[in-house]
Amino acid sequence: MEYNKKEGIGKKFVEGLLVSVVIMGLFFLLQLLLGSVSVLAAVTACILQTDMDIQEAQRAAIQIFMDSNFMTMLTVVSTFAMAVFSVPAYWLVWGRRRTAQDKQYFREKVLRVRTFSMIVIGCVGLYYLALLIAAAIAVASPETMETYNDMMDTALGGSQLLAMLAAVILAPVNEECIMRGLILKHLQQYFSTPAVILIQAVMFGIFHANWVQGLYVLPVGAALGYVAVKCCSVLPCIFMHLLYNSLSFVVFMLPDFCQTGVFAIGAVVVSAAAVWYLGKTAHAEQEQTV
């Protein structure tokens, strides 16, 4: 999809950037609304169970919200509810517009071993890059990192199965339909490819609603944006996002050496070199066939 180079700065800002921010804001408000409804339902249940004793209900509600199992379930429910809106929205606005040419390109250029090898290798490098960024944040502001870790433990520290369902399946589908689907596709109508990748990566960080995660997902968002542009589809992005999130459950089962800074730096360098090599050979093969 080519962007219109003749669009004025004002039109790009209003119709391109501002509309994208509105789209993100609407889904963010939906997320807050779903969370608020769940919290209100839990508080109401506590009040009814305590025979309208407000103080007792408050204590019961606090215990519920400190229960990681409840919060993990709440995360699953709210993420699933978000996906119920984001997936159909993407399909109605962009997904159903896919042409026969788009589908042929996907079959011939995207569904290849090399493409998925680059995605898998790239995910490993991106994950360890995120760990390095998080480690730098922890050194610069230990209190901030501790608060973030506590928040994540509360949200996903309950049932491991439910946590994996939320983080590995539901979140990638939901976030990719919003960010690489609705928003990136819209931005492509107004901005150049580098600008689109940068803007949607920043918005992806903002969408996570905390600056720690917002910082270390910036490279991930940029990579996902690049994949979306090159593959002309959100499906590889969903796969990549799914794989990236699953690494958080896999890496910590590996030997301690695999969690050191030296290994992380090595993984980033080797992954970047491997992806570059695969991309270079793919480009060379494409030139030979032309």
- Examine the pLDDT at 227 and tell me if it is beyond 90: yes
CB burial of residue 167 (10 Å; 0-12, 13-18, 19+)? buried
With tokens 């990566």, the residue in question is: 201
Least confident span in 60-69, 115-124, 125-134: 60-69
- Examine the pLDDT at 265 and tell me if it is beyond 60: yes
Rounded Cα–Cα distance for residues 156 and 152 (Å): 6
pLDDT confidence of residue 72: 86
**Every domain of the chain and the residues it spans:** 9-289
**Cα-based torsion angle of the residue sequence 121, 127, 132, 133 in order, rounded to the nearest 10 degrees:** 120
Q: How is residue 23 written in tokens?
A: 């789209």
The answer to whether residues 60 and 47 touch, using CB atoms and an 8 Å cutoff, is no
Rounded Cα–Cα distance for residues 181 and 190 (Å): 15
Count the helices and strands in the chain (H runs, E runs). 15, 0
- When the pLDDT of each residue in the chain is averaged and rounded to a whole number, the result is 87
Share above pLDDT 70 across residues of the chain, in percent, rounded to a whole number: 92
- The alpha carbon of 251 is separated from its chain's Cα centroid by a whole number of angstroms, namely 19
The answer to whether residues 188 and 20 touch, using CB atoms and an 8 Å cutoff, is no
Rounded Cα–Cα distance for residues 82 and 225 (Å): 21
- Band of pLDDT at residue 126, cut at 50, 70 and 90: very high
Least confident span in 9-13, 158-162, 213-217: 9-13
Mean pLDDT of 200-225: 94
- The alpha carbon of 8 is separated from its chain's Cα centroid by a whole number of angstroms, namely 31
Mean pLDDT of 94-106: 88
Model confidence pLDDT, tens digit, residues 22-51: 999 999 999 889 888 877 887 777 777 777
pTM of the predicted model as reported, rounded to 2 decimal places: 0.89
